[in-house]
């Protein structure tokens, strides 16, 4: 009797796993641009649905064909055909079946070759697009000179070249204030002059005494300019109206947090600027200030509260 199912037994059953696998791949690719959390979720979805898809394909290939019942048409027991294990062999013993069906091999080969071609095309593009954000992001320490150049309780605008290879284009400024001694150690406030709204240069909200400018040499960073300032009104961004108090807290305008700060250290009596970090707010003033610090974030990015969940993970700095 002809099997009405034809060759359907060699094909995998309908499944939704390929759709879930495709959704996971899309989430993974989008997450590489938007957020590493989304990329991790996409990878997990692709891995789970890919496993389920492969399991169904393998299970379908190993599933035995069900026996077709033999119609006896009411014949007496003596006339009924004997079971195969009781009667003599009707045909020569069959050769062992292949353990890995050709259809499954071809399907796996096609998927593997497609994945290899996709990786060859995609990985170089992702490398050039993503890796630069994770390379050479470190901050080089800058020697601002002897701490005697920073009078206690006064702000000094320190301008320096952050990367000697880039030259003038890498000039940066910081607002430095000597807070005196705290727990037997010198204390300094080192605020970045980059507005946390869009990165525009912030200016002191008061007079800047250019006539008292002083230059000190810094190894690998060229001359460092030190100009006394009196930011009685804090710091102001002339581009979009952002305003900060003397501790860098946002008090008006579009900025979403306080100004970034520099870490510092004292080495051989010199003030050394190290890496930057972001600040949500500052409680108190001077040496007794309590700084709520976070990993360095980009301009306009929230770093605390529910809004911070909407931003992608930052590359290392």
DSSP one-letter string for 176-203: EEEEEEETTEEEEEEEE-B-TTT-PBPE
Higher pLDDT, 66 or 192: 192
Residue 289: Cβ within 10 Å count: 15
pTM of the model as a whole:
0.59
Higher pLDDT, 112 or 6: 112
Question: Does residue 1 register a pLDDT over 60?
Answer: no
Higher pLDDT, 16 or 210: 210
Alpha-carbon torsion (96, 102, 107, 110), positive or negative? positive
E strand or H helix at 243: strand 243-244
Torsion region of 39: left, alpha or beta (phi above 0 gives left; psi -120 to 50 gives alpha): alpha
Q: What is the per-residue burial (b if ≥16 Cβ within 10 Å, else e) of 220-231?
A: ebeebbbbbbeb
Token reading at 154: 């006064």
List the domains of the chain with CATH numbers.
Answer: 1-65+100-135 (no CATH), 142-310 (2.102.10.10)
| Helical ranges in the chain per DSSP H | 17-34, 36-62, 102-130
Q: Which residues contact 199 (CB under 8 A, 6 or more apart)?
A: 299
E strand or H helix at 119: helix 102-130
SS3 17: helix
Question: Among candidates 317, 315, 316, 313, which has minimal Cα distance to 37?
Answer: 313
Query: Quick one: pLDDT at residue 132?
Result: 67
- CA-based angle 125:128:134, to the nearest 5? 130
Token reading at 213: 């400018």
pLDDT band (50, 70, 90) for residue 259 = very high
Give the integer Cα–Cα distance in Å for 225 and 158: 6
pLDDT band (50, 70, 90) for residue 260 = very high
Give the integer Cα–Cα distance in Å for 156 and 225: 10
Give the integer Cα–Cα distance in Å for 315 and 32: 12
- The helix/strand count (H/E) of the chain reads as 3, 13
Q: Which residues contact 194 (CB under 8 A, 6 or more apart)?
A: 200, 201, 202, 259, 260, 299
- Tens digit of pLDDT for each residue in 115-172? 888 888 788 877 777 766 666 556 678 889 899 999 999 999 999 887 777 777 778 8
Query: Quick one: pLDDT at residue 49?
Result: 87
Give the integer Cα–Cα distance in Å for 32 and 42: 10
Q: What whole-number percentage of the chain has pLDDT above 90?
A: 31
The widest CA-to-CA distance across the chain, in whole angstroms, is: 123
SS3 313: coil
């Amino acid at each position: 009797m002809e099997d009405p199912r034809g060759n359907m037994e060699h094909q995998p059953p309908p499944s939704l796993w390929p759709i879930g696998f495709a959704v996971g791949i899309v989430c993974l690719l989008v997450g590489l641009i938007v957020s590493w959390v989304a990329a991790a979720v996409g990878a997990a979805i692709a891995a789970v649905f890919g496993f389920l898809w492969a399991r169904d394909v393998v299970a379908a290939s190993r599933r035995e064909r069900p026996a077709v019942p033999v119609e006896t048409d009411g014949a007496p027991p003596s006339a009924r055909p004997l079971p195969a294990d009781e009667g003599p062999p009707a045909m020569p013993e069959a050769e062992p079946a292949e353990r890995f069906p050709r259809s499954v091999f071809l399907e796996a080969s096609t998927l593997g070759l497609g994945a290899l071609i996709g990786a060859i095309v995609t990985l170089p593009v992702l490398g050039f697009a993503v890796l630069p954000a994770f390379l050479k992001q470190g901050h080089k320490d800058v020697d601002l000179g002897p701490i005697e150049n920073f009078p206690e309780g006064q702000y000094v605008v320190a301008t320096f070249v952050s990367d000697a290879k880039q030259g003038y284009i890498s000039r940066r400024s910081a607002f430095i204030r000597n807070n005196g001694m705290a727990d037997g150690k010198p204390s300094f406030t080192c605020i970045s002059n980059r507005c946390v709204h869009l990165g525009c240069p912030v200016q002191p909200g008061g007079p800047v005494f250019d006539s008292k400018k002083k230059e000190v040499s810094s190894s690998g960073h060229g001359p460092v300019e030190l100009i006394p300032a009196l930011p009685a009104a804090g710091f102001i961004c002339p581009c979009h109206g952002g305003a900060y108090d003397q501790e860098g807290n946002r008090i008006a305008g579009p900025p979403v947090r306080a100004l970034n700060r520099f870490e510092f250290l004292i080495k051989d009596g010199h003030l050394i600027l190290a890496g930057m970090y972001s600040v949500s707010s500052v409680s108190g003033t001077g040496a007794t200030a309590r700084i709520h610090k976070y990993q360095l974030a980009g301009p306009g990015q929230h770093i605390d509260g529910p809004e911070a969940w909407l931003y992608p993970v930052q590359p290392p700095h």
